[in-house]
Amino acid sequence: MSYRVELAPAAERDIKKLPPPVRREVINVHLPRIANDPRWRGSPLHGEFVDYWSYHFGHRPEYRIIYSVEEDIVTVMIVLIGARENIYKRLRRRVG
């Protein structure tokens, strides 16, 4: 069963800020992988972010896609996409 992927408005802005090759990779490779099985592909976060998952990809820089899984409506909500550096500080500001 595939999940529907939705992007929060801020995540849509995040995608637009990515370098074009990374943007294409996110759209064509990583979001479909997450949609196919979000819990197998991602790692659960802990502490204040217990409701979120982190999907890692890339190298130099490494990137993260942060999302929540809404089982009742079979949807993955993407809340943040960006380079690993300061990603959790950005997440704290975004979902506070």
What's the pLDDT score for residue 60?
78
**CATH code where residue 54 lies:** 3.30.2310.20
What's the pLDDT score for residue 15?
97
Number of domains making up the chain? 1
Question: In 10 A of CB 37, how many CB atoms?
Answer: 12
Q: Residue 22 is part of which domain span?
A: 4-95
What's the pLDDT score for residue 59?
77
User: What is the full per-residue pLDDT of the chain (96 aa) written as tens digits?
Assistant: 799 999 999 999 999 999 999 999 999 999 999 999 999 889 999 999 999 999 999 877 899 999 999 999 999 999 999 999 999 999 999 987
* Residue that the structure tokens 């500001």 belong to: 93
